[in-house]
Structure 1
């Protein structure tokens, strides 16, 4: 079995979700509750990551994440993941500077959307994810249209992620506003699906909340992680 190294703490709530989902899916695959995967978690400072991105210190962010992955290499991880969408701004730079392979949440989400045959898709997440191109690039390259909320909507979504969801708070009023934004995009932008491009968003948006497909990036990422755990090392 391959051992996964998780760069976590981005935020703590989603890291717990990753851990629990990996265990659950691993046990389901083996058909037993009496087995556990061996994995490593390096929990880093989410607020430092936000500061580095907000102040456009891209190289500093890459260095911080490279150091985090290298520590996972040293303890024996066979591959690594970053348990958040936003830090994937520098995913390629990090992968180039570490020895073990990494699984991109962006690429795995694109593959899932492509399998659904969706050509017009919405994206919500932190302001960094919505403002930057790193999540949009594979979709645009694949001749798909990707839409984000208006500027004011982006500010609201980001604020509530940082102030509430990152702290484990699920607010009914916030949920209602999030769904209102997505429904507006469905009608005005004609989106056929929505990417929950922050690993905390599944805490507040559930499968039966919308009439269009949701792309839960955490679940998509975890499925790929478990697949890779079971890959033959040889």
Structure 2
């Protein structure tokens, strides 16, 4: 198996999901006591949150680049940034290392294209839903995205940063997300993209009226494909 590196801690809640998904899929495919060759660089997200609040993305990119270089030096043959929102600095980090960083939006987009999805609604943190760094990746693969709804943006961003990143699962927030998805389904939309690695805590991805593309699961599965490519 090839060794893969994860830049985690953004949040630790979703990093736990990555670790579980990657290992369970490797074990399912190879059997026995098999587990993945994996390195985890778990960062202190408070450092990134402060820089994000100050809009100092260059400093954030510097921090992440150092993490990526440590993973590469330790033998990682590819790297995952375990956060949708932090892919804002992907273009600054990838050129600084000699191994591929598997872009989460590309993994999601490729899966949607393979499934014949033509249009979708993107849900996630404010920057994922409203800025171009993520949306352009999906649009570039021929997927049309509905415009962000401002009220929805604010509430989902609040749920993520005030609840999910602290592993708080609230019934009211589950109902809110179910209502949002029900309303989205009334539009001419083929699917919903969960562009936040914690949203699956309050959204049942298997029991909705629209197909749900869970970025955490898809990204982790791309890591499994990489790990097992030479197995």
Return the alpha-carbon distance in structure 2 between the equivalents of residues 51 and 186 of structure 1. 36
Residue 217 to residue 77, structure 1, CA distance change in 2 (3 Å): same
| SS, match of residue 83 in structure 2 | coil
Partner of 1:26: 26
Any gaps of 5 or more consecutive residues in structure 2?
Answer: none
Partner of 2:66: 67
Residue 157 to residue 102, structure 1, CA distance change in 2 (3 Å): same
Partner of 1:192: 190
Return the alpha-carbon distance in structure 2 between the equivalents of residues 187 and 82 of structure 1. 33
Shift of residue 148 of structure 1? Answer: 4.8
Residue 173 to residue 148, structure 1, CA distance change in 2 (3 Å): farther
Matched-pair contact (CA < 8 Å) for 1:9–1:46: yes
Shift of residue 150 of structure 1? Answer: 1.6
Deviations 1:44-99 (A, max 9, x none): 12232233233322211211110111111122212111111111111122111112
Return the alpha-carbon distance in structure 1 between the equivalents of residues 142 and 25 of structure 2. 33
> Does residue 82 of structure 2 align to residue 80 of structure 1?
no
Deviations 1:106-138 (A, max 9, x none): 100000111121221001111121121112112
Instruction: After TM superposition, list the pairs within 5 Å mapping 1:153-168 onto structure 2.
Output: 153-168=152-167
Return the alpha-carbon distance in structure 1 between the equivalents of residues 227 and 206 of structure 2. 30
Residue 5 to residue 208, structure 1, CA distance change in 2 (3 Å): closer
Partner of 1:146: 145
> Does residue 216 of structure 2 align to residue 218 of structure 1?
yes
Instruction: After TM superposition, list the pairs within 5 Å mapping 1:34-53 onto structure 2.
Output: 34-53=33-52
Return the alpha-carbon distance in structure 1 between the equivalents of residues 190 and 74 of structure 2. 43
Return the alpha-carbon distance in structure 1 between the equivalents of residues 147 and 10 of structure 2. 22
| CA RMSD in angstroms, aligned pairs only | 1.5
TM-score relative to the length of structure 1: 0.93
> Does residue 100 of structure 2 align to residue 94 of structure 1?
no
| SS, match of residue 186 in structure 2 | helix
* Higher mean displacement: 224-233 or 209-218: 224-233
Return the alpha-carbon distance in structure 1 between the equivalents of residues 101 and 178 of structure 2. 33
Residue 143 to residue 207, structure 1, CA distance change in 2 (3 Å): closer
How many pairs were matched up?
231
TM-score relative to the length of structure 2: 0.94
Partner of 2:114: 115
* Higher mean displacement: 56-65 or 18-27: 56-65
Matched-pair contact (CA < 8 Å) for 2:61–2:93: yes
